[in-house]
């Protein structure tokens, strides 16, 4: 745990914080662990603050009024995230949720501390601008892909991007959530791709033969 915090503090050194502020950061970060499939922090009434992924993988997803989901971006080990942007603006509702794709360990600096630092250090404000720009670009890319790329191609792209050793452990349901479509659609298309001998479907697992 001490090593995790040191890794995080190292990240913060680039912002040229005073020793006092660095000490405040290190004594107020919180380490949290989540199992694969867990929702990450569910208190909708409070800001989540600054998240640093120590290990694992989180997905940030939007959800529709009818409960359908789409992944907007992923956070891997070493990635940072500022969520719940309505902490920054009063009349904004950013409906993004976080879920662990794998067993995941994060470091959290509550927004009450992070906001103060952001206002005090221009270097941190610039960093937030950069992070938000990246998320905005990512959201727009996901949106145009989801709207304009045929679903079969999007499924193939997802399998290629997320396979390890030509295998991917995922249910059709979860694959559908990532892509903002229905499970039935995913199942039908996967079967079509299997018929062409490009993949092999097993229980909870997809094996890539030739994509």
Which residues of the chain form contacts with a second copy (CB under 8 A)? 62-66, 68, 70, 72, 85-86, 88-89, 92-96, 118-120, 122, 125-126, 128-130, 132-137, 139-144, 146-149, 180
DSSP secondary structure string for all residues of the chain: -HHHHHHHHHHHHTTT--HHHHHHHHHHEEEEEE-TT-BS---TTS---EEEEEESEEEEEEE-TTS-EEEEEEEETT-EEE--GGGT-TT-----EEEESSSEEEEEE-HHHHHHHHHH-HHHHHHHHHHHHHHHHHHHHHHHHHHHS-HHHHHHHHHHHH-BTTEE---HHHHHHHHTS-HHHHHHHHHHHHHTTSEEEETTEEEES--
Output phi, psi for 88, to 5 deg: -90, -30
Q: Which is nearer to a second copy, 141 or 205 (CB)?
A: 141
Cβ proximity to a second copy: between 142 and 163 the closer is: 142
Torsion sign (Cα): 123, 126, 130, 136:
positive
Taking the complex as a whole, the smallest distance from the CB of residue 105 to a second copy amounts, in Å, to: 26
Structure tokens at 20: 């006092």
């Amino acid at each position: 745990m001490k090593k995790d915090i040191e890794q995080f503090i190292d990240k913060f050194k680039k912002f040229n914080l005073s020793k006092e502020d660095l000490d405040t950061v290190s004594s107020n970060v919180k380490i949290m662990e989540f199992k694969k499939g867990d929702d990450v922090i569910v208190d909708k009434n409070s800001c989540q603050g600054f998240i640093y992924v120590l290990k694992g993988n989180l997905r940030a997803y939007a959800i529709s009024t009818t409960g359908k989901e789409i992944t907007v971006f992923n956070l891997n080990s070493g990635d940072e995230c500022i969520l719940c942007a309505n902490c920054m603006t009063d009349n904004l509702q950013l409906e993004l949720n976080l879920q662990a794709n794998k067993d995941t360990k994060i470091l959290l600096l509550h927004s009450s501390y992070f906001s103060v630092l952001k206002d005090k250090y221009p270097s941190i404000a610039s960093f937030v601008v950069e992070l938000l720009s990246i998320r905005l670009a990512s959201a727009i890319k996901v949106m145009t892909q989801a709207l304009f790329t045929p679903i079969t191609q999007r499924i193939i792209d997802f399998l290629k991007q997320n396979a390890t050793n030509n295998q991917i452990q995922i249910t059709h349901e979860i694959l559908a959530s990532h892509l903002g479509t229905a499970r039935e659609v995913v199942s039908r298309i996967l079967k079509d791709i299997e018929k062409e001998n490009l993949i092999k479907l097993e229980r909870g697992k997809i094996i890539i033969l030739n994509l």
